[in-house]
């Protein structure tokens, strides 16, 4: 299957060629023709499947101004809105819109919290056809009268499951109420939970469904290994693995912001350059950290799940789960950072006795056991008992939930950076 046979405009094919993509990914093969037909769509696909191009390419084609168009070029009403759960994802999606839309004269901008609102207001007032936004800040702009959706044609809900997890449902409902009923709606989600299905049945019109089966996801390209180790020896093992195997560009996941900071400091002490990114870092700090990591100036990026959402780092070779995530689906999201669209990657998990329940849940989700490899000198001491897992909610200033036991959490349980409530001031659009 070629991109040409999907019926895309020459301008888009040119941009795709420049990216070096040879063939459309399975989600692109399925989604592009349906979107071009004007259908509403429910896409079940994770990061790493090429889903962004899957909706961006046909969206750009539908919005591309016709030579005969009578609309004044001076007017740039909002014609497409892409909602994402995090600012990082908003930035990545906008980058994709710019990349693929390089030869199509449409304006685009990002709207997210945590940064000065004024440049965003200016961009909106100047006129943009495509807005990529997180829900909270978008509503702030709405309140300030900066938005007019009367000409909106396409709405995309990207990573809808994550938006619901983050408590954005009411914001999403408010935003949907502002949009014309006659529009095309595309919803992408890694999982189709009952909540997602409910959202879809309310806001999508007889949607087509496209699903990428697990065999097609990045997860299959990733070599996944578990290194059993004692809780207190994880840091030493991580440094050992990085140094002895000369690993470069390692994305390391921790469960908590505090844990990310501490680990990053310790790695630095071991002579391994690293930076931490998490929800407490300012937007410029996060952008800088990501840039330094991408260009190889720092060897290790330590991240929490939320901070890492939507990071688009091509050919990222190694992901390390320093701590397993509380929710098994997050494991898939994490390892989706590596082994992307064709390139192989490696995901290492340092697992201590506290996390055996979490590991079982992950293996259940993957429908296969993961390879266990005890590194010489780091074999776990079987006499060490399991302890409750710290989720970062205790004593961290925001502490609310109880300490989590060694048994796994269910997906409805609170997590490290979760539970932002849309009605809480300052909690939006982060
Ligand atoms: P996404 O799932 O949208 O986050 O995309 C994952 C990665 O795959 C991004 O780095 C894209 O640049 C890349 N990608 C998207 N489509 C293709 C394709 N057809 N061939 C190769 N790489 C692609």
CATH number at 352 reads 3.40.50.300
Q: Do residues 40 and 209 touch, judged by C-beta distance below 8 A?
A: no
Q: How far is Cα 6 from Cα 386, in angstroms, rounded to an integer?
A: 53
How far apart CA 125 and CA 17 sit, in angstroms, is 33
Which atom, in ligand 1's list, is nearest to the CA of 310? 4
| d(CA 208, ligand 1 centre) in Å | 22
Confidence tier at 405 by pLDDT (50, 70, 90): very low
Q: Are residues 226 and 133 in the same domain?
A: no
Decide if 163 contacts 310 (C-beta within 8 A): no
CB 56 less than 6 A from any atom of ligand 1:
no
Q: Is the CB of 337 under 6 A from ligand 1?
A: no
Average pLDDT of the chain to the nearest whole number: 84
- Cα separation, 426 vs 422, in Å, equals 9
Query: Which residue's CA is the nearest one to ligand 1's atom 14?
Result: 50
In this structure, the number of other CB atoms found within 10 A of the CB of residue 306 comes to: 24
Which residues touch 119 (CB under 8 Å, ≥6 apart)?
none
* pTM given for the model: 0.60
Q: Is the CB of 340 under 6 A from ligand 1?
A: yes
51 lines ligand 1 (CB under 6 A): yes
From 51, 156, 315, 341, mutation site for ligand 1 pocket: most ligand atoms within 8 A of C-beta:
341
- Indicate the burial class of 224 (C-beta count within 10 angstroms; 0-12, 13-18, 19 or more): buried
Give the Cα separation of 391 and 221 in Å (integer).
Answer: 30
Same domain, 228 and 192: no
Query: Of 165, 184, 211, which closes a domain?
Result: 211
pLDDT at 409: 35
Range from 93-102, 184-193, 236-245, 364-373 carrying the lowest mean pLDDT = 364-373
Least confident segment among 51-60, 152-161, 336-345, 392-401? 392-401
Pairwise CA distance, residues 95 & 110, whole Å: 10
Say whether both 187 and 206 belong to one domain: yes
Strand order through the sheet with 80-83: 108-111, 130-133, 80-83, 154-157, 184-189, 41-44, 208-211
Same domain, 58 and 113: yes
Across the range 304-313, mean pLDDT stands at: 68
Residue pLDDT, tens place only, 135-186: 999 999 999 999 999 999 999 999 999 899 889 999 999 999 999 999 999 9
Q: List the domain range (segments joined by +) for residue 249.
A: 222-395
Q: Is residue 328 part of a domain?
A: yes
What whole-number distance in Å separates Cα of residue 169 and Cα of residue 160?
A: 9
Nearest CA, atom 5, ligand 1: 50
User: With a 6 A CB cut-off, is 325 part of the ligand 1 pocket?
Assistant: no
Quote the CA–CA distance of 152 and 149 in Å, as a whole number: 5
């Amino acid at each position: 299957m070629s991109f040409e046979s999907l019926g895309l405009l020459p301008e888009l094919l040119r941009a795709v060629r420049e990216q070096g993509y040879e063939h459309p990914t399975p989600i692109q093969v399925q989604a592009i023709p349906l979107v071009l037909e004007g259908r509403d769509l429910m896409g079940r696909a994770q990061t790493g499947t090429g889903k962004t191009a899957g909706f961006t390419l046909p969206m750009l084609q539908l919005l591309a101004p016709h030579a005969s168009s009578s609309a004044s070029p001076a007017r740039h009403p909002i014609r497409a809105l892409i909602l994402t759960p995090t600012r990082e994802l908003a930035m990545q999606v906008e980058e994709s819109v710019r990349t693929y839309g390089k030869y199509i004269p449409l304006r685009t901008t990002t709207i997210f919290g945590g940064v000065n609102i004024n440049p965003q207001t200016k961009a909106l007032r100047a006129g943009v056809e495509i807005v990529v936004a997180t829900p909270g800040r978008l509503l702030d702009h709405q309140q300030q009268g900066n938005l007019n959706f009367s000409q909106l044609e396409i709405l995309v809900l990207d990573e809808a499951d994550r938006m619901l997890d983050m408590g954005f449902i009411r914001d999403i409902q408010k935003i949907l109420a502002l949009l014309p009923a006659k529009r095309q709606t595309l919803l992408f989600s890694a999982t189709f939970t009952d909540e997602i299905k409910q959202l879809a049945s309310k806001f999508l019109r007889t949607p087509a469904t496209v699903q990428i089966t697990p065999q097609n996801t990045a997860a299959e390209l990733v070599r996944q290994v578990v290194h059993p180790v004692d809780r207190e020896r994880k840091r030493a093992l991580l440094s050992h693995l990085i140094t002895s195997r000369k690993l470069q560009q390692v994305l390391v996941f921790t469960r908590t912001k505090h844990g990310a900071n501490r680990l990053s400091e310790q790695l630095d002490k071991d002579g391994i350059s690293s930076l931490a990114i998490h929800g407490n870092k300012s937007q410029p700090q996060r952008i800088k950290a990501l840039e330094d990591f991408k260009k190889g100036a720092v060897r290790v990026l330590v991240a929490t799940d939320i901070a890492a959402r939507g990071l688009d780092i091509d050919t990222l070779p190694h992901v390390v789960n320093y701590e397993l995530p509380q929710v098994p689906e997050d494991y898939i999201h994490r390892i989706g950072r590596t082994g992307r669209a064709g390139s192989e990657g490696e995901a290492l998990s340092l697992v201590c006795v506290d996390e055996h329940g979490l590991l079982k849940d992950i293996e259940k989700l993957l429908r296969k056991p993961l390879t266990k490899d005890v590194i010489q000198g780091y074999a776990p001491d079987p006499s060490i008992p399991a302890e409750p897992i710290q989720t970062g909610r205790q004593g961290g200033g925001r502490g609310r939930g109880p300490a989590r036991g060694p048994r796994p959490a269910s997906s409805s349980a609170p997590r490290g950076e979760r539970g932002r409530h849309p009605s809480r001031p300052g909690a939006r659009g982060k």
